Structure 1
Amino acid sequence: MDGWMDGWMDGWMDGWIGWMDGWMDGWMDGWMDGWMDEWMDGWMDGWMDGWMDGWMDGWMDGLMDGWMDGWMDGWMDGWMDGWMDG
């Protein structure tokens, strides 16, 4: 009787520990994979968004500033020259 109980208990404990190990491994692997994927996706998206936004903002600002400055300077110079000459 003792041998049967010992074997049953050992088997049950081994099985339970194996199940816990498998569950923990699977859960941890899945959680880590999901977390890493999301983190990487978020980081890439955020970085790309930030970089694109910054680049677009800088480009638009530079273009608008340069265009406005150049246009205003040219227009003012031309107008002043014409007015002075006239």
Structure 2
Amino acid sequence: MDDQAKRVCVPLMRGWAEFENDAASLLDLRLAEQASDALDNASAPRPQLLRAAASDLEYAYYTERPGHHQQVGRQILSPVRAETDN
């Protein structure tokens, strides 16, 4: 991942840390959508990956029991986190 993409994803990664500490919800992790909007096609396929994750997070927030939000959030964001670690 290039420097610009890493900078764009910083708020999402901070949100992830808050989520892991029960200080943020799945809806707060829709920061993935903002990151997607800030990236251009030179960062492909990241914008699409982030957009899909944001949509899945919102859906999971309303359809999953709160006790499952941590597990579901990890599943949804694991591909995004793998990309940001590269």
TM norm structure 1: 0.25
Larger Rg: 1
Higher helix share: 1
Per chain length, whose mean CA-contact separation is higher, i.e. which structure has more relative contact order (CA < 8 Å, sep 6+)? 2
